[in-house]
Amino acid sequence: MSSEKVLSSASASASASAPLASPHVDVCKGINGLDKVVLRDPRGSSAEVYLYGAHVTSWKNDHGEELLFVSSKAIFKPPKAIRGGIPICFPQFSNLGSLEQHGFARNRLWTIDTDPPPFSTTSSSKTFVDLILKPSEEDMKIWAHSFEFRLRVALGPGGDLLLTSRIRNTSVDGKPFSFTFAYHTYFSVSDISEVRVEGLETLDYLDNLQNRERFTEQGDAITFESEVDKIYLSTPTKIAILDHEKKRTFVLRKDGLPDAVVWNPWDKKAKAMVDFGDEEYKHMLCVEAAAVEKPITLKAGEEWKGRQELSAVPSSYCSGQLDPQKVLHGS
């Protein structure tokens, strides 16, 4: 697929969805010649999405600061998934099923959707790209279900990053299917020991380090001093990730995704991963909008929608302490 051909598709996609807009959307070659879409907001923020995996690998604010973590050892070469950014876990999260880890959507080549169905959205974003994935014959052999997975990646006017997934059961024989899902977002942080997560306290979670045994979170905030791999259940629609050193707060808003996964591999697991630097665990944290505990079931013709919106704001201070309540509750 030539970059020229993709570029015309990107333009067609954008103009078909927003005929009055002139989106700042380019398609070019990325690492190892893989096609990527670059979104640029006039105010300076940007995002990059590889067609391989529909994988967001960069999100920068209007100062050009990178907000997502991608490993310096990430392997941009199929069939390996890209380490970092926002991998999409579908139709299976983790090893909760018979498929490969986190399913196959993250290591398939997606195409630009030049004629997406009408898109109801509250965002006024004019900078976006629509991507689509349909199962190949090989996919049908390992997961025998017909589907259309449409993903819109958009930059909001304030530099927010919006991902909206629409998954439709296109079965002609009336077969339903079930799936689990996650936006496996890797946030870039200054120092994991200076980070806290607000919005998940007192909730039940499944601990992946203890055979998914169920516990209840204790304490006022989640901080990090060792490996963590937890699936929080029935979570709020808004979660805050506070980076004390950078005086920055990430706000994750989600819809249609009741769970939230929190993961950091820490030192031993970091050293065991070939596509992850030994010390890089200090500079990343995964907080993932997900649907894991209760799989989503679609009957033939039904569609599911799951949305994630990320924003980065200066942290509020109160007596020298981060004040997440202003972020979480708008007070």
Binding residues for substrate: 83, 101, 106
Say whether 102 is catalytic.
no
Backbone angles phi, psi at 186, to 5 degrees: -100, 110
- Please identify which of the residues 280, 288, 293, 309 carries the catalytic annotation: 288
Residue ranges of the annotated binding site are: 83, 101, 106
Active-site entry in 55, 102, 184, 244: 184
Q: 135-153 burial, b if ≥16 CB within 10 A, otherwise e?
A: beeebeeebebbbbbbbbb
| Residue 11 backbone dihedrals phi, psi, to 5 degrees | -65, -40
Q: Pairing between strand 259-264 and 248-255?
A: unpaired
The CA-based angle 213-234-248, given to 5 degrees, is 100
Backbone angles phi, psi at 319, to 5 degrees: 55, 35
Residue 184 annotated to the active site: yes
Contacts by 282-285, CB closer than 8 A, 24 or more apart: 282/191, 282/192, 282/193, 283/69, 283/188, 283/189, 283/190, 283/191, 283/192, 284/69, 284/84, 284/186, 284/187, 284/188, 284/189, 284/192, 285/186, 285/187, 285/189, 285/192, 285/195, 285/197, 285/224, 285/241
Q: How many CB atoms lie within 10 A of CB 324?
A: 22
Catalytic residues: 184, 288
